[in-house]
A and B are shown apart, each in its own frame.
Chain A
Amino acid sequence: MKKSKILIGAAVLTIAGFFAIAADHIDAPAVAGGTSDITDIYAFQGEDNNNIVFVANVQGLISPADTDAAAFDENVLIEFNIDNDLDAVADLVIQATPRDGKMYFFGPIAPSQSGLNSTILSSSATMNDVDITAYGANAIVETNNGMSFFAGPRDDPFFMDFFRYGDIIAGDETMFSDPGTDTFAGTNVMSIVVELPKAMVGSGDSVNIWVESKRKQ
């Protein structure tokens, strides 16, 4: 009895430690595996060097069999936060939220309030939308005033030997294997991609960005 309890406790601990890894996939109990779980964000210069690209991926580890049924949540708002004076406070936001098969985008625009709560700035911000690309279909891209938009399932671009890292943290292994095994190979995410002119996000040498997911109350 005691022994089995200890074993179960150890197993729970191992699983908890094991899954709380990866870029930001299933990073915390409140969001793990849910529709607001951010897996990764990316920010890089576009094919057009005057542009910057922001990527927010949510809902990690979607198997190919489950991808057709995967969907963005209409109660979840994804916010790209842009800090262009490097004080870690958002000066601009780009908001993205789905409605009835389309992803709607608002901004970039100054947020109405700082902090943890947001309202969608649908009455004041520039609005754009793009049809959400279905699984297996060619990517649908909407371009308007120099900004481009995409939303839909994509290959998870993240790669890591996640299982081996878990083994090391758990004390079951002392080093990575060579070659390692990409735990995220063959899995998909729900992806939101925005490209826009650099001049729309800041005039300095750099900006700070982060992505927040927020749920309708």
Chain B
Amino acid sequence: MKFNNIKLAAIALLVSFSAYNCSDDDDTPTGPTGPNFTGTYAQEDQMGRPAINTVFVDMEDKDAFNTTIPSNQNAAFQSKFEAKLLALNPGYTTNALTWDAPTFTGALATDVLTVSLTGTTTFFDGTNVLTGRALADDVISTELLLIFGGPMGTDNPGLSDDNVDSNDKAFLTSFPYLATPH
């Protein structure tokens, strides 16, 4: 009997406590609210130029490359990029941009895409180099040429072009420019 009384009292206390909590919630404004954009978002992936992480970064460094801010990438990765370049092409001297291995890998290690605001925007169109990236640009063949092609772009012809020169769907001339999905 006594024990039951204690139990009842405990339940009453619990109920009043949770009821109080419930009513406390009502202090927050209710009614229509917009989407919730609060919180902290932590970096997982990043990208500037095409294929940099995939070609130049060793497997054990790939996550680290994605979470190193661009202004710190050169110090962290340039020498590793140079070693990777010389592993891919042991005969590398300079490329079609006349860049030696430290210059080329120094440019690539800071993985940002430079975009012209005053003229043609292309990764490479035969005339303009690294002034943006348009949808139809054959960026992989450009990079292969710079890695394997040597100073005249004529070395290692079997490695300097993947022989896929265009997309499988035509792009649009107007926004949103990308082709409809398959």
Q: A: which residues have CB within 8 A of B?
A: 16-17, 20-25, 27-31, 34, 36-38, 40-47, 52-53, 55, 64, 67, 77, 83, 86-89, 97, 99-100, 104, 114-120, 122, 135-136, 139, 141, 148, 150, 153-155, 157-161, 164-165, 168, 174-182, 184-188, 191, 193, 195, 198, 201-202, 204-217
Contacts and interface: CB of A to CB of B under 8 A. Distances in A.
B132 interface: yes
B98 interface: no
Chain B interface size, as a band, is 35 or more
Interface stretch (B9-17, B24-32, B167-175): B167-175
A164 B48 CA distance: 24
B43 A117 contact: yes
Contact of A37 (B45, B70, B114, B176): B45
Which secondary structure dominates where chain B touches chain A?
A: loop
20 contacts: A16-B59, A21-B55, A27-B47, A36-B45, A40-B47, A88-B110, A89-B69, A97-B37, A100-B35, A116-B67, A141-B175, A141-B176, A164-B162, A174-B158, A175-B158, A180-B164, A193-B175, A198-B117, A207-B114, A209-B113
Given A83-B112, A116-B67, A185 B168 contact: yes
Nearest to B163: A180
Given A44-B121, A116-B42, 18 more contacts: A46-B175, A88-B70, A88-B110, A116-B69, A119-B38, A136-B181, A141-B176, A150-B175, A154-B176, A155-B169, A155-B179, A176-B162, A205-B116, A207-B115, A213-B46, A214-B44, A217-B39, A217-B42
Contacts of B71: 87-89
B65 interface: yes
B4 interface: no
Contacts of A141: 175-176
A89 B54 CA distance: 23
Which secondary structure dominates where chain A touches chain B?
A: loop
A21 B110 CA distance: 19
